[in-house]
Amino acid sequence: MNALRKVNAGPGLELQTVPQPPAPGAGEVLLKVQSTGVCGTDLHIDEWTPSYHFVSAALPVTVGHEFSGEVAAQGAGVTGLAPGQLVAVRPSVVCGRCEACLAGDPDACVTRRGIGVMRDGGFAPWVVVPARNCVPIPPGVDAEVAALTEPLTVSHEAVRTGNVQPGDRVLVLGPGNIGQGIAIFARAAGARQVVVAGHGDAARLDVLRRMGFNDLIDFAGTGMEAGLAPYLQEGKFDVVIEATGADAVIAPALRALKTHGVLVITGIHAAPVPIDLTAMVRQHQQIRGSYRAPERAWPEVADFMRGHQETLRHMITHRVPLSRAAEGFALARDKVATKVMVQPQLEAA
């Protein structure tokens, strides 16, 4: 079978012919991959940015961690999954042996390995994964929407971390897939106003408009301070959630945040970011980091998808077969796309 692989500790990915996975072992399942999203992490691994050099220990490895698949075979001891069951895959594989795992707190596992990062992932027609990492998808949810589960859990966790309340005014910085999900969950939490801002992001802002968001700003035409000025006339924001990874937005984000407000950081920043701590302290502001969602959030997000599928489908702007994955990566990198789905079954079409 073909698989998109990281082969060398340097820039680039390769589409290689590799053996199909072996039969699943105890506690594992073989999945027929249905749809795999191109994520910012995949772009960083492709570009070989310094914060991803830890992947070297796993090379060569098949990338792809945002995916859905159908259960094709099960190893010994697997229960609760049926042949043909559509699942989303939680990419964080915990060890089951560290102190946290033994205490029943797998979210705090210290030796986790990521599917599609440190072990073979979803940019392939078939993959073997632990059964406990498979989250059943409710009937009626399409496989490509199911492949949005992982990024949606990140967005869900960011909104939870910000403790968004009914009546809040929320500013989302970054209109990509994660930012779009944040906007959706902030609205679902009862936010009175959700403002989403980007920089040179017309295509992604158009997606948000189709999802019913109207308070949209492109800082490329205004600059951040001027773009936010009309909204700050009403007052500062209760919660600001950053999903850009751009250090230049942090200081103005804090200035746009009310006293006792919360700034949530979800972007991965390549270098330390200077912060005016005195101003933050005097305004009783909080900065909180948000990364992976707890395991318990995954079924909640899967259930949310059942009632919001048509809205979520707008996020998927491009679909390519595995043989053209490089084109999909280029679309994602150039901000033409919101979410590119790589779908092995398109080869036959």
d(CA 56, CA 6): 9
Non-local CB neighbours of 12 within 8 Å, separated by 6+ positions: 46, 48
β-pair partners for 240: 171, 263
Non-local CB neighbours of 205 within 8 Å, separated by 6+ positions: 175, 196, 198, 216, 218
Torsion angle in degrees (nearest 10) through CA of 200, 203, 207, 208: 10
What letter would DSSP give residue 268?
A: P
Ranges of each domain in the chain: 2-148+315-347, 152-289
> Which of 36, 41, 266, 317 is an active site residue?
41
The per-residue pLDDT for 345 is 84
By the 10 Å C-beta count (0-12 exposed, 13-18 middle, 19+ buried), 310 is classed as exposed
The per-residue pLDDT for 51 is 78
Non-local CB neighbours of 191 within 8 Å, separated by 6+ positions: 164, 166, 167, 168, 169, 170
d(CA 237, CA 240): 7
Instruction: Judge whether residue 287 has pLDDT over 90.
Output: yes
The per-residue pLDDT for 299 is 96
Which tops the pLDDT comparison, 333 or 193? 193
Q: Which two tokens stand for residue 348?
A: 């036959």
3-state SS assignment for residue 139: coil
What Cα–Cα distance (Å) separates residue 303 from each residue in 135, 139, 308, 309? Answer: 11, 10, 9, 10
Instruction: Judge whether residue 297 has pLDDT over 60.
Output: yes
Domain 2-148+315-347 has CATH 3.90.180.10: yes
Phi and psi of 226, rounded to 5°? -70, -35
Non-local CB neighbours of 56 within 8 Å, separated by 6+ positions: 9
Would residue 44 show up in a list of annotated catalytic residues for this protein? yes
Instruction: Judge whether residue 190 has pLDDT over 90.
Output: yes
Produce one character per residue of 205-229: b if its CB has 16 or more CB atoms within 10 Å, e if not.
Answer: bebbeebebebbbbbeeeebeebbe
d(CA 298, CA 304): 10
Q: What does the pLDDT look like over 53-109, one tens digit per residue?
A: 899 999 999 999 999 999 999 999 999 999 999 999 999 999 999 999 999 999 999
The per-residue pLDDT for 269 is 86
d(CA 29, CA 114): 16
Position 159 confidence tier, pLDDT thresholds 50, 70, 90: very high
Q: What does the pLDDT look like over 107-142, one tens digit per residue?
A: 999 899 999 999 999 999 999 999 999 999 999 999
By the 10 Å C-beta count (0-12 exposed, 13-18 middle, 19+ buried), 57 is classed as exposed
Instruction: Judge whether residue 268 has pLDDT over 90.
Output: no
> Which of 17, 36, 44, 308 is an active site residue?
44
Would residue 62 show up in a list of annotated catalytic residues for this protein? no
DSSP string, 61-76: EE---EEEEEEEEE-T
The per-residue pLDDT for 348 is 57
Q: What does the pLDDT look like over 4-15, one tens digit per residue?
A: 999 999 999 999
CA angle 327, 330, 335 (to 5 degrees): 130
Instruction: Judge whether residue 347 has pLDDT over 80.
Output: no
Phi and psi of 114, rounded to 5°? -90, 130
The per-residue pLDDT for 213 is 98
3-state SS assignment for residue 339: strand
CA angle 67, 73, 79 (to 5 degrees): 90
Which tops the pLDDT comparison, 299 or 50? 299
Domain 152-289 has CATH 3.40.50.970: no
Q: What does the pLDDT look like over 13-36, one tens digit per residue?
A: 999 999 999 999 999 999 999 999
The per-residue pLDDT for 142 is 96
DSSP string, 288-336: EE--SPPTTHHHHHHHHHHHHHHHHHTTEEEEE-GGGHHHHHHHHHTTS
d(CA 291, CA 268): 9
The whole-number average pLDDT for the span 325-341 is 92
What Cα–Cα distance (Å) separates residue 91 from each residue in 112, 128, 225, 267, 291? Answer: 10, 12, 38, 19, 13
